Amino acid sequence: MATTTATITLASTDLLSDELALTTSATLTQAGTATGITQAAGLSRKTTTATADVTLFTAADYADNKADKVYIKVTNTEAARYVGIKLGSATVGRLYAGDWALIPWDGTANFIYAPGSTDEITVEYMMFHEG
Amino acid sequence: MATTATFTLTSADIAGDPVNVSKTATCTKAGATTDLDQTTGLNRVHLRSTTNKVLLAANAEGNDLSAKVYIINKATDPTLYLTVTINAQTIGKLYAGDWMFIPWSQTDTSADIEVAATNWTASTGDIPVEYALFHEDTDFLTNA
């Protein structure tokens, strides 16, 4: 059984009048069990220069209603560049330059991103899944 | 007013070689280097509804402004999960201990972020859920 740990740290010394310091870790497990998730689509990188939707993961290739997780990051440094994250036709949100997300994915709709412009935009991504 | 979000992922055995990823993002306003300056703070609710409940209500004023949502399922029973939905589309399931950190475009008033304790029963106990929103929309005044 593989052990994969995802940790988030949210920190700010000046957003509030008191310091924000939140750290939590999750061991990625299979749906409804304490068994570690065992399959991964390793860290990948894709660059676009068009605004056409890019399907990162096709729902039909994965089982539905599992505990899959998708990590995605925009590696650009130009602040105005972004990608829109979509599940099927539903917009989730925009990741701007330097932003990352960890998104649970139940495999019922394609995992898509839409580049915000024809400028060169690069994303890195990986997925942990149950097949 | 810098708020940073750091992601670290480690695994010694999911692949033939160790996986170690660590990335830090500074949460900024849309298309700018200006820091996000508003937050709901960390909230906690106990969920027992098997149907969707609005966790964060979309505000049309926030359309395509920058917003980041953090949600964690604080249950310890590994069978208990939250179903997270946006705009009638299931995003995914958060099992006990799982967390998510996602961008949120309030594309319209249907873009609420909703959660359901899908397999809750009277015998399972409530599912504790903690969440926070970091945003730039000045008209976002309430959570739901």
Tens of pLDDT, residues B81-120: 999 999 889 999 999 999 999 999 988 778 999 999 999 9
Whichever domain contains A88, its CATH number is 2.60.120.10
CA distance linking residue B144 with residue B141, whole number of Å: 9
By residue count, chain A amounts to 131
Q: Which of A12, A27, A69 sits opposite B2 (nearest CB)?
A: A12
Give the amino acid at B138.
T
pLDDT at B144: 44
The vertex-B88 CA angle with B86 and B94, nearest 5°, equals: 50
In the numeric block, the tokens 């949460």 are attached to B27
Give the closest residue to B30 by CA, choosing from A97, A46, A111. Answer: A97
Does residue A123 lie in a domain region?
yes
Mark yes or no for CB contact A2/B11 under 8 Å.
Answer: yes
Domain assignment present for residue A102? The answer is yes
Q: Is A126 on the interface with B (CB under 8 A)?
A: yes
Yes or no, beta carbons of A4 and B88 under 8 Å apart: no
Residues on chain B touching A87 (C-beta within 8 angstroms): 86, 89-91
Predicted confidence (pLDDT) at residue A127 exceeds the cutoff of 80: yes
Instruction: List the single best residue of B77, B79, B93 to mutate versus A (max A Cβ within 10 A).
Output: B93
Q: Name the residue type at position B22.
A: S
Which domain does A121 fall in, by range? 39-129
Is residue A119 in a domain?
yes
Does the residue A25 lie in any domain? no
pTM (predicted TM-score): 0.96
Domains of chain B: 38-135 (2.60.120.10)
Q: Which residue has the tokens 């969920």?
A: B47
d(CA A111, CA B98): 19
Count of domains forming chain A? 1
- Which ipTM did the prediction report? 0.96
Whether A57 is covered by a domain: the verdict is yes
Provide the chain A residues 16-75 that lie in CB contact (below 8 A) with chain B. Answer: 16, 20, 22, 24, 26-29, 31-34, 36-40, 42-43, 65-69, 71, 73
Q: Which of B9, B103, B111 sits opposite A95 (nearest CB)?
A: B103
- pLDDT tens per residue across span B32-59: 999 999 999 999 999 999 999 999 999 8
- Answer yes or no: is A28 within a domain: no
Residue A1 confidence class, pLDDT cut points 50, 70, 90: confident
Mean pLDDT, chain B, integer: 92
From chain A, the residues in CB contact with B26 under 8 A are 98
Residue A62 is assigned to a structural domain of this protein: yes
Q: Does residue A32 belong to any structural domain of this protein?
A: no
